[in-house]
Structure 1
């Protein structure tokens, strides 16, 4: 459909009749809604990503606001597209740092308005055939883009629209009168610049109002700490003598420990850490909270032996030595605290823990997960007093905001960095130039880098460091070969600004506190989501020297790239659909942080997700062991879902059933028959996804009743707010007695029937639903009943992702046979027989693949199916088909272009058809298709064609355009159509 027609529809819907058909150009009222992960930033990024040029007129700009758009601007630069920014020095809000950052964006021309009171907030985008513009209250600051209560309106216009013309003319006049941004201008501005206020914490519209004096601050528990303190107190009231706190790095674990000691008031405290540098800082923190004379606080380390102190802070190396340990009575300390307690599997820690007998032992860690099979949870009697991970910590504003940039790594002659790339390629001069260009572009807070650079190997760290030094960039490298003293000296150099970069391998993954780090650079494959978060966390501690942290992740062709969205989103379920969504839609990051991927880097992640084997046995075994360690029992499917460690469907279908998985691990707590196991297999493969609740509720009922009437089943569905029509109930019963299934699938399920139907002898209609004989036999086994209850409960939890009142849910994924089952088909069809579409009884179901790939061999000809825009889809019939073929006649009649279909029975001739559209991005997404919603064929678009085939002949097909009932979400649309 032409853009002019789309625009007319949009304007009519937006300003005349909200119930009329709109388009992707509809006006939009935009308000930040953090609870719904809906931000003005999303709209701005989307418009930038698809424009041909742009002009912004914005009074206030901050580095973090600019950062949120840098990846999109970089992608535009790769396409040769640029834009303009008109800003100001109004109220002295824009600092020199942001002007320096603006100057580094090659495809952005910046000018400074000289107009008094310049306070505009407008964003104009040229899309070629139409223009869009946003006018409202949002400046280009992260607060305005994500958190503040702002009003903005997105409108669309043709070039000759009067409002647009007025805006363009005005902007052009202002642009011509403004000063170009240059290095010399910045230097002059910097000489006279006086900071106004801390911009991140005040509404810029209040800058002219007098500010009240800031009250003296006291150290008080934050929200997280208050909850943890309450939990610890309640834990001790139960008689527990051990507790574990799991808290993201930088969230105040040491202060939390101090507050807990303050509420316990022990006679003697022992605080154990693994490094003396941490020891001194911990002692200082406790003194601030507990007060008292300095003599109350002592250190036991290689250089100090204050063993008589009331509060003793010791390194594990010192306290574990026999001569020190045995100098204390076993009950010398009534409160012992161990920092970084995930190291407690080491012999030195166990030796100390086994020796002392405190009233209470507290362990603190950011990462309790272990790879050496040691069970931290068991060590602390499974008493997790409190847990807060990265996402929650960001939401509570406990960490420094970060801007993550997934960027493409160095590429030359088509060769991209991989896990096995030769060292010479990693450290050559061209790659260093490439890295420096990207690092400079994405920058850091206040343009004074204090960075950790994580490398893949020691030689790479050393040689890259030397190459940086050769370019006059102060840098050092650290590996496990360096002494603790040397490491601490280099860290001090970084914090003092004597060097800008530390290149390292592994040693800074944990246990190091460098608050002033404002840049984290990743030049290595993501080995695990745990290590990724540990390295990211090195920069997230708040510090007055920085406003945010820049994280630059150079993404090569790594097999493990799929772990990046896993780590950032916190979703470790290993569900491929979730990982794809978390790559194209990064609104899961809360607060003032952002996640952005350059286009090429994003495609590398998609490629990794498609290729990844999410159900390899070793990984699933590790997940099982870790969860068992935490629960202190065998985990079942509900446990995997509630803990989020893996999608239970993955582990339940790895073998015949989850029972078989447990048998392989020798963890089964009972035995069941092969017949019963086949029933579990059927339920796991067909019902566990939770796409329809009817079967689940009926089976739960049949666990306690041997039979129910059809009327009782209908009422059961109504009670749960489900569809209760005859067709749906009949479909449920055909599923459970297996008559729906055909071919090889039916054969694999043979003997797993769960219901037997009693029919009326006269009408043949179902009267009662009985347990099948096999189901009756299986239910005699208590372990089977336990496993079945777990399966059904888990499936009903997963069903919460699907709507109740409709058979299908938008944007959810379905197999072809799921679709036919949920639309009440009598029988399953073999996927090959369905192909791109099938139709029956008024339901026309279409399965399209958006990108078929260069080597697609699934058809005799090159089909050109396409999602034209968020509301329109172009689709081709199978071949050979003509305008008089049955499906063409159905399309024509649905579009209002033809008489009722000739031939067939009366029902078929007068049938009203519903059309359902499903799509895959590409051939690598397996057998699942996203449901895009119902569609309607558009009058005037149903056309015959002759298309060439692979054998050189031509065959007839028919094309049609469809209108989606629900406009596609913009990010989802971008994901589907993106290469």
Structure 2
């Protein structure tokens, strides 16, 4: 209680009296806005409070289905914990639709009431905690746009439970609550009648005249269709490709982003004498022809189809099936130069012989390929086919940000446990379609719901027999479903899709025949009942619902997550992060703000544990994965990639490669790439630069290496100038540390041998930095060696952009114990004897593993704990007392001019890297002698104290570290 009051007082002083107040607290009043650029949203703070509260009350005038969807999985987790809440809302301006009230009734741990107060327009969220309340009050209603996208002002305040402001809020809420109407089915039915009457009345009042139907003029119609902002940029880039003399171009565009319209706009600009559009699915053909005609205008006879019995080969704009046009007798009817513009849709299929035959035969002036998924699991290189000319690329995240796709709410939900065991890779069909699992599935899809008047859903199953049996089971329960598999004809599939679109069917169940090449814009719910086999397939299936349609505001994605080995692919697919860095993937599980627009990603807590377990159990650095990523990038750029290419193309983190293989050269040799050889010493120098410089954690070494790669020597003064110009620290200890790194004196003997033993860079008697003679010789004679070193420097400089140069350590970046020794300017690496902490050279780095493994010996299982975002309860080593010299040094750190630095990792599964959380000072009032027991139940002395953080810890990282263990 005392700590809370002190922290609250400090927070209020900083928030309301003086922003420069040195002692800040975790409860500083905060302006909450939707900062799209920095992925910070009102929703983030709201969910943080919701997830840790004991109860809550919302008073909001307006609620949308999409807004409510952002909270549903969190509210379900609270229900499991026994946490309840109340929501007060209204029918003000008839904004709230009847359906959202039905959605509210599904949430059993939330009581809802309706007020008839005239002009009810409040927007307040109050969360009860143990001794205090958090309040978010301002302009945001419970809508997805207000919580994630709109320009909103909200203030987050913290009050002691006895504070006047929270008492006023409570009093106001209770006063209106008592006189309000409880939400019920009967009330909703009555409201729906009035709502529909009001809507009809409003629509009638807006009618200003009676429109008379007339026949559309196709030329006039096409002039109204204009490219959107992203398509305008794409068209400019495609034109630039042509102006540079290139005859081929590849468009990489996420499903639903309008590839067909984009290509039609480009054809209109190109104005070919004749055009050929090639597809591999007949249902795409008619749609493409229709879209092109809308954009281009012109008479019907100018647009023809070449497929099956349709042989309109003489049309100006010809839309052909690859199966038809590739037939010898058909193909040779055309002059090779008959078409000056040829497009291939879904060009990732072009590895087939039929495509190669057509591509090799025709000689157009411009060749365009379009795909959403250029990455292939086979050996075919799409990029090579188009001479590595990527004319335009937009992936899922960018498309969401540009509002090109329908927003989605993804829910990673918990699959059913069968006899205490989760569904996993080996589960039998008999267990996949049990009555309990069907009930569980129905419960989840009804709870998470859909946007629109009725469900139009796709359910992806793990195998054909599951789809068929599950369809029967759902039909017996009143749903209207059908199972479609690869055994069904194209005609049957098209008929069932029409049934779904027309509302005759609720769901189509399938395995993977609808992963691509199917266009059902009205889909408003996608259910995934199978394990994720690849990121590509995951995005393809999610993408089935991402096309915009007048009948929906968003699409609901419900992913049933069992105990699958490949669960780690889910955060990779959703975030688009290909770094193979486990820490990144774990962070994407906790912080999902990377999703743009009003879309959200949500995981039920148990499902989240399944994914963490899969991340931990997966070897992301196995050769197979690294080689696949390498080949993918090599295919894309048409040569052996440098490390910088991985950085630039957001592929594997180069550190993942070098941490496993010591340097990139050894990886290339391992995968049998034909690269020039290096001497044993050159290899060791490359290893040193890879493991010590490539990470980009300190700019000083990067600048010196870069300078010496461009000139034979550099004076000490010139080097100082370069550092000052980059705003880097130039104190004597830092400069000595840099020299100790390059002369290898910092390292242990093991590392000295690994790095070649002799100094790499020396400061000569004339105060010039120079490479040693062997390296200088290699750089002159071995161009490959020089390129590899240059590549490291270039990559390191790019990675360094996220680090500070005027401080030894950058907040929230990750460091090893050895890094701490180096960057705190210790003369040598003492990480092997540092253990939890060590005081030296007026610094004391403290390393904490927050969630200890159960196997950790009792005498080392310290109870370190964050009490809040600026107070850490910290324990010394066992067998230490208040009289211990090392303890006294830390308690008197301020008087002894010792800087205490706090490093924390979530648990041992994160490896040897720790997050740097900044400096701290001990609160002397909290220092206590205590005891802990060892494995033999023997009592050992220990000291604990509160460490007050210099800066309040970033809330997202704080909640990640404190959250559930990574298993």
The TM-score range, normalised by the shorter chain, is over 0.9
Secondary structure of the corresponding residue to residue 844 of structure 1:
strand
- Are residues 357 and 416 of structure 1, via their aligned partners in 2, closer, same or farther at CA, if it must alter by over 3 Å? same
Shift of 1:71: 1.6
1:196 is displaced (CA, Å) by 7.6
1:772 CA displacement: 1.8
Residue 105 of structure 2 aligns with which residue?
103
Q: Distance in 1 between matches of 2:197 and 2:319?
A: 41
Which residue among 932, 945, 952 is the counterpart of 1:960?
A: 945
Q: Please tell me whether residue 226 in structure 1 is matched to residue 232 in structure 2.
A: yes
Q: 1:692 to 1:195 in 2, by over 3 A?
A: farther
Displacement of 1:860 in angstroms is 3.1
Residue of structure 2 equivalent to 1:775: 775
Is 1:713 the counterpart of 2:712? The answer is: no
Residue 844 of structure 1 corresponds to 844
Residues 480-495 of structure 1 mapped to structure 2, 5 A cutoff: 480-495=486-501
Q: Which one of the candidate residues 933, 958, 963 is aligned to 1:978? A: 963
Name which of structure 1's ranges 711-720 and 957-966 shifts more when overlaid on structure 2.
711-720
Q: Is structure 2 residue 170 aligned with structure 1 residue 168?
A: yes
* 1:545 match: secondary structure: coil
Corresponding residue number in structure 2 for 1:34: 36
TM-score normalised by structure 2 residue count? 0.95
Q: Is the Cα–Cα contact under 8 Å of residues 814 and 928 in structure 1 kept in the other structure?
A: yes
The 1:711/1:212 distance shift into structure 2, 3 A limit, reads farther
Aligned pair count reads 949
- 8 Å CA contact 1:29–1:153 kept in 2: the answer is yes
Cα distance in 1 for residues equivalent to 2:631 and 2:160: 61
- Higher mean alpha-carbon deviation, 354-363 vs 336-345, is at 354-363
- Partner secondary structure for residue 35 of structure 1: coil
Who is 2:561 aligned against?
A: 555
Range with bigger deviation, 734-743 or 19-28: 19-28
1:122 matched to which residue of 2?
A: 124
1:765-824 deviations in Å (ceiling 9; x for gaps)? xx4433223322332311100111011100111111111111111111111101110000
Q: Secondary structure at the match of 2:854?
A: coil
TM superposition shift of 1:610: 2.6
Matches within 5 A, 1:535-550: 535-550=541-556
Cα offsets for 1:11-42 (capped at 9, x unmatched): 22222232222322221121222122121111
Matched, 1:448 2:450: no
Does the 8 A contact of 1:656 with 1:677 survive in 2?
no
**Partner SS, residue 2 of structure 1:** helix
Match of 1:835 in 2: 835
Match of 2:90 in 1: 88
36-45 or 657-666, larger mean C-alpha shift: 657-666
Is the aligned partner of 1:878 residue 2:877?
A: yes
Bigger mean CA offset, 600-609 vs 271-280: 600-609
Aligned to 1:346: 352
What's 1:323 paired with? 329
Alignment partners' CA distance in 2, 1:667 and 1:289: 48
- Structure 2 distance, partners of 1:68, 1:654, is 40
User: Residues 873-932 of structure 1, C-alpha deviation per residue, up to 9 Å, x if partnerless?
Assistant: 111111211101112211332367xxxxxxxxxxxxxx4110000001111111111101
| Shift of residue 674, structure 1, vs aligned partner | 1.1
1:520-919 matched pairs, under 5 angstroms: 520-751=526-757, 753-758=759-764, 767-779=767-779, 780-831=781-832, 833-857=833-857, 860-894=859-893, 911-919=896-904
Contiguous gaps of at least 5 residues in structure 1: 199-205, 761-766, 897-910
1:271-294 Cα offsets, whole Å, 9 max, x none, are: 111111111111111111111111
Kept in 2: contact 1:334–1:360 (CA 8 A): yes
CA distance in 2, matches of 1:752, 1:92: 79
Confirm whether residue 142 of structure 1 aligns to residue 110 of structure 2.
no
Residue 216 (structure 2) aligns with: none
| Counterparts of 1:36 and 1:622, CA distance in 2 | 32
Q: Quick one: which of 418, 421, 436 aligns to 2:424?
A: 418
Contact 2:662/2:691, CA 8 A, preserved across alignment: no
The offset of 1:526, in angstroms, is 1.7
Q: Which shifted more, 51-60 or 479-488?
A: 479-488
Aligned to 2:215: none
Q: Counterparts of 1:39 and 1:193 in 2: how far apart (Å)?
A: 32
Name the structure 2 match of 1:382.
Answer: 388
Distance apart, 1:372 and its partner CA: 1.0
Equivalent position to 1:255, from 250, 261, 285: 261
Is the partner of 1:155 in helix, strand or coil? strand
Give the conservation status (yes or no) of the 8 Å contact 1:679–1:753.
no
In structure 2, C-alpha distance between the alignment counterparts of 1:758 and 1:327, rounded to whole Å = 77
- CA drift of 1:195 comes to 8.6
Q: Give how far 1:212 is off.
A: 12
Query: With structure 1 as the length reference, what TM-score do the two structures score?
Result: 0.94
Q: Secondary structure at the match of 2:874?
A: strand
Q: Is the 8 A contact 1:679 1:752 kept in 2?
A: no
Aligned to 1:78: 80
Residues 32, 155 of structure 2: 8 Å contact kept: yes
TM-fit CA distance, 1:548: 0.4
Residues 815, 916 of structure 2: 8 Å contact kept: yes
Aligned equivalents of 1:566, 1:197: Cα separation in 2 = 44
SS at match of 1:47: helix
Question: Counterpart of 1:194 in 2: which secondary structure?
Answer: helix
Query: Could you tell me how far apart the structure 1 residues matched to 2:128 and 2:571 are?
Result: 32
Q: Residue 821 of structure 2 contacts residue 831 of structure 2 at CA under 8 Å; is this kept in 1?
A: no
Note the alpha carbon deviations across 1:116-163, whole angstroms, 9 max, x for none.
111111111111211121221111111111122211111122232222
Cα deviation per residue 1:943-962 (whole Å; 9 max; x = unaligned)?
A: 11121111221211111110
User: Which residue is equivalent to 1:908?
Assistant: none
Local SS of the residue matching 1:944: strand
Q: Separation in 1 of the partners of 2:674 and 2:280?
A: 40
Q: Give the distance between the partners of 1:403 and 1:196, measured in 2 at CA.
A: 30
Take 1:14 and 1:3, find their aligned partners in 2: how far apart are those partners? 16
Q: How much has 1:237 moved relative to structure 2?
A: 2.2
Paired residues of 1:90 and 1:118 also in contact (CA < 8 A): yes
- 2: CA distance between counterparts of 1:889 and 1:895? 11
Residue pair 2:72, 2:448 contacting (<8 A) in 1 also:
yes
How far apart, in 1, do the equivalents of 2:621 and 2:758 lie?
Answer: 25
Distance change in 2, residues 1:465/1:748 (3 Å): same
Question: Which residue in 2 is equivalent to 1:903?
Answer: none
